[in-house]
Chain A
Amino acid sequence: MPEETEVEQLEKEIEVLKQELKQKEARLQLLKSVKKQIVKHYSNHFTTDEITRYSRQMLVPAIGVAGQNALKQSNVLIVGAGGLGCPAALYLVAAGVGHLTIVDNDEVELTNLHRQILHTEADVGVPKVESALGKLSNINSNVKVNPLHLHVNSESLMGLLTKENFDVVIDCTDNVPTRYLLNDACVLKKIPLVSGSALQLEGQLTVYNYKNGPCYRCLFPVPPAPDSVTSCGDGGVVGIVPGVIGSLQALETVKIIADTSGVLNGRLLLFDGSNTTFRNVKLRNKNLDCQVCGSHPSITKLIDYEQFCGTRAHDKVINIEILSNSECMNVIQFSKVYEQAPIVIDVRPSVEYEMCHLTNSINIPYQDIEKDEHLDFLKELLAIHSGEKDVYVLCRRGNDSQRAVVKLRDQFRDSNFTFLNITGGLHSFAKQVDPAFPIY
């Protein structure tokens, strides 16, 4: 298609222009740096530009010249360049930390942009750490930013923590195994861990393993059951909420580096955006019997955290297969029949159905099916279409629809209807049949 050719052409041209821009910016930096390099003339620690740049922050007594100098000498690790990591990195770079390493294994997606504020439309498909680097170095060229496009696991993290001397690690991740991994690694390496999380309209923040305070395992010796954990992809999140928590993670990090009092260790901050309340609660002391930070730890090196938590170390959905082939139909076959099909049941939550749906589909959320709250309605519906045979059941990715088919096939065992699961759900429909259907 001519449009595609033009897209490719533009991408090439923009790449050339970017390189040219980079060269010109580097040249400009070099010419300007004459002033920057004036050191130890009027200040023992900072260049002329640094004094001007950080003056507003140094004027705050809790930071002062000593605090700013500590920031300049500091080395910080951020794990996760998403909703929490973006604002945290932004403020730390602006505040003038010396070295900042950012680790993330994902690429930017359109669904990220409402909250991951370092990434732009042009970055979709680009590794998040690369996209972040571009913005961060424009904000403060004094900071050495080290982008690492890799998956953190026991080996890669221990390697990194052994190679570098981090003053603070910031947990901006999105899953339980990685939270335990970061905790244990920070305990073993004696590094404070600034931990944040967010979902929907709520956020939580605390500092673990700092000045004899509790660690994550002191609070949560046993991991939660995987089905009790909700991801941003399923539960949703209002972008500003991780913005608030990520910004506060940067603040706690600055306070730790500047060695101020009042760091949030041994306490937990609960932010509820629905009524704009901050609740600050006192946490338990360090647990002397803690498996990793107690007096006689049983965990003395990193373990397999996916196994420990019984779940994968990412927030992506794991697909199930609980039906036989005879109860499934692929989206290509479905695309040939669905427009004429009288009974297409979409089992997604009603808000998702409201966002987008196939025009002739009917919404009966799986949650209702689970609780048998749909039976009368469905009986009526089937009675109206008693001449039909097939009932098509679909959802977002094809998992809940399988669970729904299992339930429905048993409930309507005595009827003539066959309940068919649409394999891969609306995601597959969008990929293989109609790209105009939104993927979210």
Chain B
Amino acid sequence: MSVDTLPISIGFGGGAELLFGNKKNFAISLPVQEITKWQISDLLKWIQDNLLKERPELFIQDNSVRPGILVLINDVDWELMDTINYVIQPNDEIVFISTLHGG
């Protein structure tokens, strides 16, 4: 692992990918110069500045994700991982899933 970046993968699904140019998976490296301990709250801001293509209100509200989006950290609900305060580890997989309602 390189010392000056934090490599992680990010995923979007359930329609959330539409806000990111219809792309479901991103392999990214977060810079660790200014922020040494990346929390999910930092990542949300980073996503908004770097990946989000349109209608930010459909992804972020009140410094968290909007109602109806589930956040999964390595296949575990972020509620079990301290939500926005979770400290991101190298190679974490963080997935944002919009819930579906169709039937």
Contact = CB atoms under 8 A, between A and B. Distances in A.
A331 B70 CA distance: 44
A283 B77 contact: yes
A231 B54 CA distance: 20
A72 B55 CA distance: 51
A268 B66 CA distance: 19
A281 B76 contact: yes
Contact of B66 (A224, A272, A281): A224
Contact of B102 (A197, A272, A274, A285): A197
A424 interface: no
Contact of A232 (B24, B68, B72, B102): B102
Contacts of B80: 282, 284-285
Nearest to A173: B103
A197 B68 contact: no
A199 B102 contact: yes
Contact of B15 (A174, A230, A283): A230
Interface in B50-102: 54, 58, 66-68, 70, 72, 75-77, 79-80, 95, 97-102
Interface stretch (A215-223, A300-308, A374-382): A215-223
Interface string B15-56: 100000000100000000000000000000000000000100
Interface of B is mostly: loop
Contact of B99 (A80, A171, A224, A235): A224
A282 B77 contact: yes
A51 B11 CA distance: 48
Given A202-B13, A284-B77, A222 B103 contact: no
Max chain B C-beta neighbours (<10 A), residue from A84, A228, A230, A283: A228
A203 B68 contact: no
Contacts, number: 100
Max chain B C-beta neighbours (<10 A), residue from A196, A237, A242, A279: A279
A197 B100 contact: yes
A120 interface: no
A198 B98 CA distance: 12
A219 B70 contact: yes
A374 to B, nearest CB: 15
Interface string A170-181: 011111100100
B102 A172 contact: no
Given A204-B99, A371-B54, A199 B15 contact: yes
Contacts of A127: none
A222 B100 contact: no
A440 to B, nearest CB: 16
B70 A176 contact: no
A85 B103 contact: yes
A235 B15 contact: yes
Contacts of A179: 101
Contact of B14 (A196, A204, A232): A204
A198 B103 contact: yes
B19 to A, nearest CB: 10
Given A220-B67, A225-B67, A230-B15, A198 B102 contact: yes
Contacts of A173: 103
B101 A197 contact: yes
Contact of B103 (A196, A200, A219, A279): A196
B99 to A, nearest CB: 7
Given A199-B15, A219-B70, A224-B66, A242 B79 contact: no
Given A202-B14, A270-B13, A282 B76 contact: yes
B62 to A, nearest CB: 11
A224 B13 contact: no
Contacts of A197: 99-103
A335 to B, nearest CB: 34
Nearest to A279: B75
Given A224-B67, A284-B80, A231 B75 contact: no
Given A223-B67, A225-B67, A228-B68, A282 B75 contact: yes
Contacts of A204: 14, 97, 99-100
B14 A174 contact: no
A14 B13 CA distance: 47
Contacts of A174: 101-103
Given A228-B68, A270-B13, 9 more contacts: A82-B103, A174-B102, A197-B103, A198-B102, A202-B13, A204-B14, A204-B97, A225-B67, A282-B75
17 contacts: A83-B103, A84-B103, A172-B103, A174-B101, A197-B101, A198-B103, A199-B101, A204-B97, A219-B70, A220-B67, A224-B66, A228-B68, A231-B101, A270-B13, A272-B13, A280-B75, A315-B101
